[in-house]
Amino acid sequence: MDREPLSVLCTPAMVVDVDKVKKNAQRMIEKCEKLGVKLRPHMKTHKTIECADIMTGGSRRCIVVSTLAEACFFADHGFDDILYAYSLPFDKVERCAILSERLELFQVLLDHPDALEQLKKRPLKGGRLWHVWLKLDCGNGRAGILHSEPEALRLAQSIAEAAGVQLTGVYAHCGNTYNCRGVQEIQTVAKDTTRFTLQFMEKLKIAGITCKSSIGSTPSCSHPGQDMAQLSEVHPGNYVFYDVQQSIIGSCSVEDIAVRVLTRVIGHCPHRNQLLIDCGWTGLSDTLMKAEVVAKTCQFGWCWETSNRICCNRRASGPQTVVHDSGAWKSGAPFRKAGLQHVPTGFSAHTDSIPFMCNSSDASCVSCALRGHSHGQVETNTWMVNRCKYRILAIVNLYSNLLADTCR
Amino acid sequence: MDREPLSVLCTPAMVVDVDKVKKNAQRMIEKCEKLGVKLRPHMKTHKTIECADIMTGGSRRCIVVSTLAEACFFADHGFDDILYAYSLPFDKVERCAILSERLELFQVLLDHPDALEQLKKRPLKGGRLWHVWLKLDCGNGRAGILHSEPEALRLAQSIAEAAGVQLTGVYAHCGNTYNCRGVQEIQTVAKDTTRFTLQFMEKLKIAGITCKSSIGSTPSCSHPGQDMAQLSEVHPGNYVFYDVQQSIIGSCSVEDIAVRVLTRVIGHCPHRNQLLIDCGWTGLSDTLMKAEVVAKTCQFGWCWETSNRICCNRRASGPQTVVHDSGAWKSGAPFRKAGLQHVPTGFSAHTDSIPFMCNSSDASCVSCALRGHSHGQVETNTWMVNRCKYRILAIVNLYSNLLADTCR
């Protein structure tokens, strides 16, 4: 991770402030230590060895992933104690079996009796057990068996009683914290999820079953309540970077955000008062397609000053020629002169009133930045999944003369 | 491209009907021959050697790309006469120069005098010329210099007069045809774009400049007017696959669509009347996040019967175990019994009233299907770029028993 000036980077690129990543990771480690729960960081946000090392404190143990490709990727790099937290897809049972036979501890997740049947049909070699987490829906409303349904307890019992299978834990994702605004709302959802999970654990105990419990989501784990101390584990992931969405939810401050999208202005249309940037909608957010609206309503689309502390993830396609950087953007002057908003303190320029125009033909290159950096083994990058999020760093080193002209 | 039953595929996957691809490609070749214009097919939709061969009739000549990564990918596979139709990004000038020096004919595009200055600063070796297309905005409102502005003619003249640079052509993209509904609206936009382009060519002629002219977009080239015969080239791309959006615009019929997204149902929530499928929002469309609405308003989210003619692009991650296929979905019965819409003729099941639930954690895997197939060299797949498009093929071979239960 060589440090280079941003201006030499090929755009669009995802830039990661590694100091902030370390700070975010360390803060979560300390929160969990204080609470006495095990931290099982989720890898889906970054899918890189580098961040995984930072999040696990170098142990390369106790992680959670959302795809089998991620599981294989991290297993190939010496990681173990991996939980594949995705409703068991029946077409991937064989690959899960192979990982279970290969790793010290590979764990799957399910929420339906049919899935358990699939595991029973494929007993593991060498007397190994399938390590199974039961996915509980505690109000999130996506995957999982509803915590209050009698079927949930029955399924847990079936798992516990099945030959060749072990009920390792009960897993709930409080993704509904993403609808929250502010710490109080987040903690209310987290409390409910924790209570429902612990109530279910109580039912299990009465039925003579003991296993682990885990809840997670970055908002809830960023502001853990004391009740969460009764859980075995938590599994947040996004906190490693945070993003604008998280700052709006209240998970973090804007200063905690460790990632930015670097994009160049590649066109200027004075007659439309528009800039064209070399970053497509997946790199920014589909909402940014209507940036005029979004920037005003939820503050996406900021432009930030460059920082020496920013460590760059490069596109796989190699180094580029250096471009001229006039610094005009940094002062914000051209845009101000052009009748656009004043630059607030701490920001180099503010795009609230700049109607961004995203050229979709280079879309998703942002994801390639980190993929290239990370050996190209992982198929999905969450930049595309977590929409409406990343702050944009636009460097107007291309059309600075033009902009100056416009302002005369 | 081995033919296998769809049920052995790991999902989500993009499936391509190669027969339809060939038919779509052949039809466009014939349209252009009849019109007497050169067809320069755009590669950005598929980014594969396979489709590029089909679209160029095996010549591997005369193509257009939207990223430099695509340009390099196709150059590495023996393609030539490549137009990089993206407003010249200044950080990529050196790489463009290298391609220009290496290929017989590599062409760039620009819409600003600053970009021309960048080219002049990097003269090509061996006395070669930069082949430059001027990007004209004929009403599309994205990249390009406005056709009616005096600056447009001045820029064309500057290119034509610059040492080491050749004005190869004038290029306009009528992306505004994507707002059309029906052939008449499409042809009106195409006519305007053609007229503006030809008017500009006339001005050039008066100024003593001759060069090529090209307009494009799949809607316009699918229904070319006779006036387009006066152009040198056209550059459509999406027609190789078409999609639901194109069928709604009127570019094609639903039967022409050559791609589908294959996804499995991995969860069922009777209390919410929801299914969980293993395909994230980028694989489907971000609009499908609200599929209940979308399916009703613009017909996305159909489920189709499997077909023996479908040739499969596999995910890079290798073959999967075979899953049980009960055929229940094909009959459409379970959903009908469950109170959902009747299956219209020709469709195996219709999801208008099925509230799809997309699990975002496997998002963008769809793009990996074709990427894996195509040697992993190309960084962007347009599945993610062209939103709101692909038809979904859901095979409910996992939870068929469960669904039957629900219907009792």
Name the B residues in 260-299 with CB < 8 Å from any A CB.
Answer: 264, 266-269, 271-272, 276, 278, 280-282, 286
CB atoms within 10 A of CB B338: 15
Nearest CB to A267; choose among B87, B92, B93: B87
Cα–Cα dist A363/A130, whole Å = 40
Tokens of A123: 């007993």
Cα–Cα dist A407/B314, whole Å = 53
What pLDDT does residue B124 have? 98
Q: Which CATH architecture has domain A18-244?
A: Alpha-Beta Barrel (3.20)
Tokens of B50: 């396979």
What pLDDT does residue B280 have? 52
- In the block, tokens 């209310």 appear at A188
| A375: alpha, beta or left? (left if phi > 0; alpha if psi -120 to 50) | left
List, for chain B, all residue ranges whose pLDDT scores fall below the cut of 70.
1-16, 244, 259-265, 267-408
With contact defined as beta carbons under 8 Å apart, do B378 and B335 qualify?
A: no
Q: Which residues of A touch B276 (CB under 8 A)?
A: 87, 142-143
The contacts of residue B278 (CB under 8 Å, 6+ apart) are A89, B11, B12, B263, B264, B265, B266, B359, B362
Q: Counting one residue from A and one from B, how many pairs have CB atoms under 8 Å apart? A: 188
Nearest partner of A82 among A105, A53, A116, A57, judged by Cα = A105
Residue type, B55: M
Cα–Cα dist B189/A258, whole Å = 45
Nearest partner of B318 among A63, A83, A98, judged by Cα = A98
HEC secondary structure over A348-391: CECCCCCCEEECHHHCCHHHHHHHHHCCCCCCCCHHHHCCCCCE
Cβ contact, residue pair B385, A91, below 8 Å: no
One DSSP character per residue, B40-96 reads --B-TTT--HHHHHHHTTT--EEEEESSHHHHHHHHHTT-EEEEEEEE--GGGHHHH
Spell out the domain ranges in chain B: 18-241, 258-407
In 3-state terms, what secondary structure has residue A216? strand
What pLDDT does residue B41 have? 98
Mutation site for A-interface testing, chosen from B72, B92, B119 by largest number of A Cβ within 10 Å: B92
What pLDDT does residue A371 have? 25
pLDDT tens-digit profile, chain A (408 residues): 344 445 556 666 666 677 888 999 999 999 999 999 999 999 887 777 888 999 999 999 999 998 888 898 899 999 999 999 988 888 889 999 999 999 999 999 999 898 999 999 999 999 999 999 999 999 987 788 999 999 999 999 999 999 999 999 999 999 899 889 999 999 999 999 999 999 999 999 999 999 999 999 999 999 999 999 999 999 999 999 887 678 888 999 877 877 666 666 676 666 655 556 665 544 444 333 222 222 222 222 333 322 222 222 222 222 111 112 222 222 222 222 222 222 222 222 222 222 222 222 222 222 222 222 222 222 222 222 222 223 333 333 333 322 222 222
Nearest CB to A267; choose among B112, B365, B381: B112
Give the distance from residue A360's alpha carbon to the nearest chain B alpha carbon, in angstroms.
6
Name the B residues in 65-124 with CB < 8 Å from any A CB.
Answer: 66-69, 72, 86-95, 111-112, 114
Give the distance from residue A183's alpha carbon to the nearest chain B alpha carbon, in angstroms.
25
Q: Which residues of B touch A90 (CB under 8 A)?
A: 264, 266, 321, 323-324, 397-398
CB neighbour class for A161 (10 Å; exposed up to 12, middle 13-18, buried from 19): exposed
Query: In terms of CATH, what superfamily is B18-241?
Result: Alanine racemase (3.20.20.10)
